[in-house]
Structure 1
């Protein structure tokens, strides 16, 4: 069975990644691509790498152009999708890659985003553990409204959830520092993202608990069983176009050793097709997941400090955004979760 697909905001980086992955999906038929300032242009003129879609033409992002499809993927700035989705047919599967429907707390939305609060949809991180032993994928089956995650948030959630759920780490002194590529900030022209500003430099931003993904991370840790969580989260822009390398540390729970840590993470992800725990002593690189819907995790225990170190690599545009969106759509529609998605990266 095949499904017709529209992608809104398809001229941006996240939208382009959706197009790249959808082009290889055997059950999804891409029929409509929309844009704002690029409406009327061809896909090939905006995304020259998408040769199989080069002749498609972007149309305006309107409810009329999006309705009538089986699936609509939204790759719009935060605040832009909430009002639009209210005008889409109830029967269509809508997957929002923006932030508008990720947070359950209206207070958190007001504090970190602002503007109208549109409410939470089913959260699109299938592998995320819950305290009752289930996973987030159980809440995606049959869903018609899905919120794809923030790339930084899902990376940290996947890093920590096994330890929280198993009770082998503490949730009140978590520190996470992420090296991130600038494509996560979108395609719009920004001075701080110019090549002359980031090449040869590492640039921290949103320092001091101000990053918008923090409440999303804490929400995920709460689902995993943390009654109270505190996360010191610092992203750092580095000169790679795409990718996230998250180094996260947490205090060990009393009596837990390195064997207990590894057992918790390996048990959590042993059967997962897209989240892999590396052997002891091995740690991932962002190059290892380039273009893949894969999260790679390396673990170490600093016995002197009494902390676990979790190093996780993802492609922010693939597993961090578009891949998670398509993976979640597969689950919602009853397709094989891996349909149209690749675990293999591109190297060198």
Structure 2
């Protein structure tokens, strides 16, 4: 047993404290697989945990980081052996179980999946929970029977991680994508990813009418609150919106009118506890369907030492696209 570098969140009477320090391997939590972490990423949830802006962390001390890619060091789980490249998203990592901003983790084998063929560890973390969630949203819209030939799709929070990948996936599948953002100066970036139109988020931020002019058939919403209420009020008859985020707030100050007068559906997307079969399908689709050149264009990389600042920046809306943390 030795020590390894980690970002650690602790809490006392004066509040939450975050520091990079050595962590004792003997203090890792129970699990049947130990993984040497080579890459992680920075999601909005990670930013909330690092800044304490929301009660993401449920035990202290906590190593944050909800995503990892790495190499199996030791395993007593039948599906994994030493040397296997693996990834992990969710399952309480960085919330209730010591997370990915560390050189080593110990986890339950059923939480892991093998690194999908066709992806490097770096690319898998460029996708991360954000891109994986975007794919879950797209799959939900497809299961609902929606097709790009019937109308456009809107993506809110478009310049963020989920939004950037969602635009890329939808555009490649043939959708006319409307990108809603408060960073209209990022229009060229969003159009390069595949957005056909840019919509200033201010158009969706006021109180929503029960029903407004029909504008899109489908959507992926990362924002919540008034934005989601407005998006629903403008959804075409029989359309659906996949909701996966709360960057603007947890409330939904809208009306039942879109649901009962236009047959609109609100599809809730959970990425944390999604069943294994759904995870495998989503990651297989990402490896096959995501334009990796577009993924590269939206991705930057940082070191473990830069994670705390990145957490502040993502919560403040100052990060575009995806950020990979390189630990290897």
**Higher relative contact order, structure no. (Cα contacts within 8 Å, ≥ 6 residues apart):** 2
Q: Which has the higher strand share?
A: 2
**TM-score, normalized by the shorter chain, greater than 0.5:** no
TM superposition score normalised by structure 2: 0.31
